Amino acid sequence: MKAFLKWFFTYITAFFFIFYFFQSASGLESTPPEGLKVDQSQEDAPAPKVHIHDLMPQVVVLDSMANLYEAVEFDHEMHAVEVGCAKCHHHIVEHTDQTCTIHNVVDQTNDPFCARCHKGWFPGSLDKAKCKDCHSPDRFTADYLNKIEKDKDIYHRDNIGLMGAYHNQCMRCHVEEGIGGCQDCHVRTETGDKEFRADAGASGATKKSSEDGH
Amino acid sequence: MKSLNRRNFLKSGLAGGALATFLGREKPAQAREFSGYTNKGTGVLVDLSRCVGCRSCEAACNREQNLPEPDVPFDDFSIFDTERHGGLKRRTSEGVFTVVNRYNPEELDHPLFRKFQCNHCEEPACLTSCFVNAYTKTPEGAVMYNPKVCVGCRNCMIACPFYVPAYSYSKPLNPIVEKCIMCYPTRLKFGKPPACVEACPTEALTFGSRVNVLKFAKERIRQHPEIFVDHVYGEKEVGGTAWLYISPVDFKKIGFDMNLGHQPIINYVKSFLATVPMVLTIWPALFAGFYRLANRKDGLKKDNNEGAREESQS
Amino acid sequence: MKRYTAKGKIPVASLTNEDGKTRYTLVNKLLLGLSIREYIIQALRNPMNWLLGAIFAIGIPMLIGRFINGLGSVTHASYDYPWGLFLGVGLFVMVPMSASGFMLGTTVELFGRKDFKPIERLALLNGLLGYFFAVVYLLVDLGQPWRLVYPMIVSFGPAAVLFLVAWHVATYLSVQIVELVPSLSEWMGWKKPQVVIKGMILGLTVAGIILSTLHQGALGALFNYAPGKVHPLWYSAPFLWFHFLCSSIFAGLSMVIVVSTICKKTMAWRCDANFLDNLDEITFGLAKGCVMALSTYLIIKIIAIAHDSDWYYLLTGWGAWFLFELLIGTIIPLVLFTFGIKNRMAGLVRFTALIALFGIALNRLNTSLITFNWKLYQEIPHIKEVMITITLYAIFIATYRFILYRLPILYTWQSSEKVKEEA
Ligand code: SF4
Ligand code: SF4
Ligand code: SF4
């Protein structure tokens, strides 16, 4: 409960700040029709005083594969400090000086494809820094599939699901760092051991089920 | 479904030919052009750039299809070094419906993994070659096999251009063909994605209607020309397959057969099938004619050198 | 047996013995008119029996093992080569060599070439046994042989080439059995069937032609399903079935030449003068048929390459192998046959027929096994698979010989007049 309240207040504060900056920016700038600004506004607007690191989650618990693997406590803060935000949050611009603000999170995108439409603007607000707002945790449920098959208004139909998004982001670096094995991050449960037939071949009986007669 | 109509056409053509023989009448020959598929049914897009070779899909398939214990656990990656006869990589077999193989194309600084299983062709060679009709293509796109009628001639294994079906040679009593069935009875039928798709942590496998995943494939290639080669494997190969592949390197280098052509396999057999009604209808008349001719000669000659056996038979 | 005939024992060739009174019993007929002791002695004296015995001793247990332990125990159980020697030899080599039945049936019954009559029954028997053993091979190879009748009664896949093969081989087998019933009924002393079948013979022969044309071609068309697997030099979608059909003609004829030669050499006591005296002439006649078929075959082989523009492949190793096959199996027989006929050298023609048979076997094995999967690896059959194949062939030979010894195939049954009188 305490944790919840803490997050709740953090988010409220965050909302407030975003609201504030949008207000002040547009006020200063006589609003270009596209609503796109960015660098200029950054200079003009009073620098935000709240550091993003104070607003983001410290730990994210990933438990969607809980039957095969125990939940992973993802050290969000460590990753943010060590590798920066944009490495994973691919729609924002990295600030090398580690002083990026909420403002930056929603303001800009460094993905050239996203930027074609979304430059300087991302729908909603800070919420959109959350992976699952674009990457559905239910990518292959009937509902989701039906929606992208039938609903003509949806533009982004091929958004990778949440689990896929995570793994694609994580594995890029983890493989390079040599910690690319599943169990380097995930502790396998008993069901997981069974799924992967961890005891297979242990009986010593030589079988040839996976090869032909040669 | 058009493709079904086409098969029916072939059937009725043959049946008609047979009937015509009995009736002694020739049916007008009709040639119908095959003009693409309706693309109904589901499909899976395999994005080889995403696959990390974790073999989760193999594990999930083993569980879902109640397959026997594998030789080594699914987290044992030394299996990628397995070489079969002739230096070939692993293939599907009795008890293994899908395999992931590792390739090391020189233009990449990391290995590439390729998952592979039945491609659930739009016009399956296995289906058209089966003389007891053990195979069916469901409206959902899965190519199913009925072990109850299979005689075990293994023609489907000859016909499958992807070397997919495997035969359980080890069973003396009821050997059957074993291959991926796209999880039809347990999942696909209920609109759920195959087990391997659901298990893939990197979403290297994308499930949806074939039309849609084909669009995804093309869109991904369009958006990332720097990653992908411009080809969707399975879009047209052997008449199209429900499973599609996009790859960061030339498909040839990672074990895909690029010489299969765009014709469904049955098209190669058509020229023969077309002669069947012809022979059935023309031969009797032709040879009866020969007989009349020969015997007329006989009559004229009043054949005098008939063998002794001829007498003995009369 | 030769010694007995030399001693004045006459093998059973009629319903009654020499004095014309007592009828031979079935046992007499089976023992060729010898006593059991005499029969066994002559059997033991024949080295061929020892060879067959040795093959059976090794092969039969393996054959039984195949049904107890499954196909995997006697073959490599290859997924890439689903069809091994059993079908490669048993179906694809046996069937064209058995085309003789319909060939001679047509020649004698339809074209009225009575001069081929003495060999017609041998050709029919050769066809029947060849097909029968093709089915036996098939039964050994099928995963679930007890379901062999499924394509006939349980589930139909009429768009499949194998469906045609199944139906046609089954029907044709029945046709051939019927065509040979006269020999059997003469031997057994039955009267009725001979009359009935005499009336059906034209229909049966035409049916034989239709069925043979289709299934000989269909065997080739089976490989049409594997455009990427059979080497392009051997594969040709529009021509493959025609290659198979055309080559089966000279394969069947050559087989008759070879078998008749063997009969003449090893079973002269069983042949009658009608057969022996006419044989050379008939052999030349058959060889002429071979020449026609061979030249057609050679031309369509080349046309097929031109049609698919496969010339490039001729320069590869496979191309050399292809040319070798074409040389051994087509060009050399063609030249030798022509030469032999011109100069009336029966011996040369017979030898050439043997070469032609080798050529045709090579062609079928090339298509079904050797060049199959040319992009993968070469399958070397399991030793047990080879043994079983040989054993089945030995059973084929033994059956063949058993029937030739007894039924009036090579000789003329002598007492039909008497039968007529009795009736
Ligand atoms: S991949 Fe092979 S087994 Fe699968 S549907 Fe196509 S032809 Fe049949
Ligand atoms: S679709 Fe189902 S049967 Fe096929 S490979 Fe995937 S899990 Fe296995
Ligand atoms: S589960 Fe996905 S990433 Fe893992 S091996 Fe299979 S396809 Fe590749």
pLDDT digits (tens, 9 = 90+) for A50-93: 566 666 788 888 888 878 888 888 888 888 888 877 778 776 66
A156 close contact with B: CB closer than 8 A: no
What CA–CA distance (Å, rounded) separates C392 from C136?
8
What CA–CA distance (Å, rounded) separates C287 from C250?
8
Give yes or no for residue B244 having a pLDDT over 80.
Answer: yes
Give yes or no for residue B304 having a pLDDT over 50.
Answer: no
Q: Are C147 and B153 in contact (CB under 8 A)?
A: no
Give yes or no for residue C419 having a pLDDT over 50.
Answer: no
What CA–CA distance (Å, rounded) separates A199 from A196?
8
Q: Is B117 in the pocket of ligand 1 (CB under 6 A)?
A: no
Over residues B61-66, mean pLDDT: 91
Q: Are B224 and B239 in contact (CB under 8 A)?
A: no
Strands in chain B per DSSP E: 42-47, 99-103, 112-116, 135-137, 143-145, 166-167, 177-178, 205-209, 243-246
Over residues C354-381, mean pLDDT: 86
Strand (E) or helix (H) holding A165: helix A162-176
Q: Are B119 and B162 in contact (CB under 8 A)?
A: yes
pLDDT band (50, 70, 90) for residue A171: confident
Q: How high is the pLDDT of residue C199?
A: 67
Amino acid at B259: N
Give residue A187 CA to ligand 2 midpoint distance, Å.
25
Q: Give chain B's domains with CATH numbers.
A: 1-26+277-297 (no CATH), 42-269 (3.30.70.20)
CA neighbours closer than 13 Å in the CB half-sphere of residue B48:
33
Residues spanned by the domain of A103? 52-198
Q: Is B126 helix (H, G, I), strand (E, B) or coil?
A: helix
Q: Are B264 and B10 in contact (CB under 8 A)?
A: no
Nearest CA to C35 out of C12, C13, C52 is that of: C12
Give residue A205 CA to ligand 2 midpoint distance, Å.
26
What CA–CA distance (Å, rounded) separates B213 from B223?
15
Nearest CA to B124 out of B202, B84, B182, B66 is that of: B182
For C225-238, how does the pLDDT look when each residue is reduced to its tens digit (9 = 90+)? 888 888 888 888 78
Q: How high is the pLDDT of residue A118?
A: 65
The C residues from 27 to 86 touching B (CB cutoff 8 Å) are 67-72, 75, 77, 79-80, 82-83
Q: How high is the pLDDT of residue C206?
A: 81
CB contact under 8 A, A145 and B56: no
pLDDT band (50, 70, 90) for residue A23: very low
Residue A47: how many other CB atoms lie within 10 Å: 9
A207 close contact with C: CB closer than 8 A: no
For B14-38, how does the pLDDT look when each residue is reduced to its tens digit (9 = 90+)? 444 444 444 333 333 333 334 344 4
The closest-lying atom of ligand 3 relative to the alpha carbon of residue B203 is 2
Give residue A175 CA to ligand 3 midpoint distance, Å.
15
How far does the CA of residue B43 sit from the closest CA of chain C (Å)? 24
Give yes or no for residue C362 having a pLDDT over 80.
Answer: yes
Q: Tell me if A209 is assigned to some domain.
A: no
Strand (E) or helix (H) holding C60: helix C47-69
Residues spanned by the domain of C263? 46-422
Could you tell me whether strands B243-246 and B42-47 are parallel, antiparallel, or unpaired per DSSP bridges? Answer: parallel
Give residue C310 CA to ligand 1 midpoint distance, Å.
28
Q: Bin B162: left if φ > 0, else alpha if -120 < ψ < 50, else beta.
A: alpha
Q: Which stretch of A133-137, B52-56, B57-61, B221-225 has the lowest confidence by average pLDDT?
A: A133-137
pLDDT band (50, 70, 90) for residue C418: very low
What CA–CA distance (Å, rounded) separates C168 from C218?
10
Q: How high is the pLDDT of residue C210?
A: 83
Cβ-based neighbours of B293, under 8 Å, separated by 6 or more: none
How far does the CA of residue A214 sit from the closest CA of chain C (Å)? 7
Over residues B42-65, mean pLDDT: 91
Q: Which stretch of B247-261, C4-18, C274-288 has the lowest confidence by average pLDDT?
A: C4-18
From B46, B47, B56, B58, mutation site for ligand 3 pocket: most ligand atoms within 8 A of C-beta: B56
Amino acid at C175: V
Q: Tell me if C311 is assigned to some domain.
A: yes
What CA–CA distance (Å, rounded) separates B182 from C95?
39
For C109-145, how does the pLDDT look when each residue is reduced to its tens digit (9 = 90+)? 777 777 777 788 888 888 888 888 888 888 888 888 8
Cβ-based neighbours of A4, under 8 Å, separated by 6 or more: none
What CA–CA distance (Å, rounded) separates B225 from B237?
22
Q: Are C78 and B162 in contact (CB under 8 A)?
A: no
Query: Which ligand has an atom closest to residue B134 CA?
Result: 1
Using an 8 Å CB-CB cutoff, list chain C residues near A212: 76-80
Q: What is the CATH number of the domain that holds C154?
A: 1.20.1630.10
The closest-lying atom of ligand 3 relative to the alpha carbon of residue B54 is 4
Q: How high is the pLDDT of residue A110?
A: 60
Q: Which stretch of A201-205, B67-71, C223-227, C384-388 has the lowest confidence by average pLDDT?
A: A201-205
For C69-94, how does the pLDDT look when each residue is reduced to its tens digit (9 = 90+)? 878 778 777 888 888 888 888 889 88
Per-position b or e across A139-153, b if 16+ CB within 10 A of its CB = bbbeebbeebeeeee
Q: Tell me if C203 is assigned to some domain.
A: yes
The closest-lying atom of ligand 3 relative to the alpha carbon of residue B46 is 7
Over residues B48-59, mean pLDDT: 91
Give yes or no for residue A207 having a pLDDT over 50.
Answer: no
Q: Tell me if A46 is assigned to some domain.
A: no
Q: Is B254 in the pocket of ligand 1 (CB under 6 A)?
A: no
How many domains does chain A contain in total?
A: 1
CB contact under 8 A, C238 and B152: no
In this complex, which chains have at least 3 CB pairs below 8 Å with chain A?
Answer: B, C
End-to-end C-alpha distance for chain A, whole angstroms: 63
Which member of C143, C206, C225 has the closest CB to residue B265?
C225
Q: How high is the pLDDT of residue A29?
A: 35
How many domains does chain C contain in total?
A: 1
How far does the CA of residue A64 sit from the closest CA of chain C (Å)? 39
CB contact under 8 A, B52 and A196: no
Q: How high is the pLDDT of residue C27?
A: 66
Q: Tell me if A103 is assigned to some domain.
A: yes
Over residues C177-181, mean pLDDT: 78
Q: Is B126 in the pocket of ligand 1 (CB under 6 A)?
A: yes
CB contact under 8 A, C382 and A214: no
CB contact under 8 A, B96 and A210: yes
Q: Is B45 helix (H, G, I), strand (E, B) or coil?
A: strand
How far does the CA of residue B266 sit from the closest CA of chain C (Å)? 7
Q: Tell me if A35 is assigned to some domain.
A: no
Q: What is the dihedral of CA C357, C360, C361, C367, to 10 degrees?
A: 180
From B67, B98, B138, B192, mutation site for ligand 2 pocket: most ligand atoms within 8 A of C-beta: B98
Q: What is the CATH number of the domain that holds A72?
A: 3.90.10
Nearest CA to ligand 2 atom 3: B180
How far does the CA of residue C166 sit from the closest CA of chain B (Å)? 8
Give yes or no for residue A42 having a pLDDT over 70.
Answer: no
Angle, alpha carbons B265-B267-B273 (nearest 5°): 115
Partnered with residue B46 across adjacent β-strands are B205, B245
In sign, the C-alpha dihedral spanning B180, B185, B187, B190 is positive
For C390-411, how does the pLDDT look when each residue is reduced to its tens digit (9 = 90+)? 888 888 888 888 888 777 777 7
Q: Tell me if C299 is assigned to some domain.
A: yes
Q: Is A194 helix (H, G, I), strand (E, B) or coil?
A: helix
- As for ligand 3, residues whose beta carbon falls within 6 Å of it are B 51-57, 100, 113, 115, 199-200, 202, 204-205
Using an 8 Å CB-CB cutoff, list chain A residues near C77: 212-213
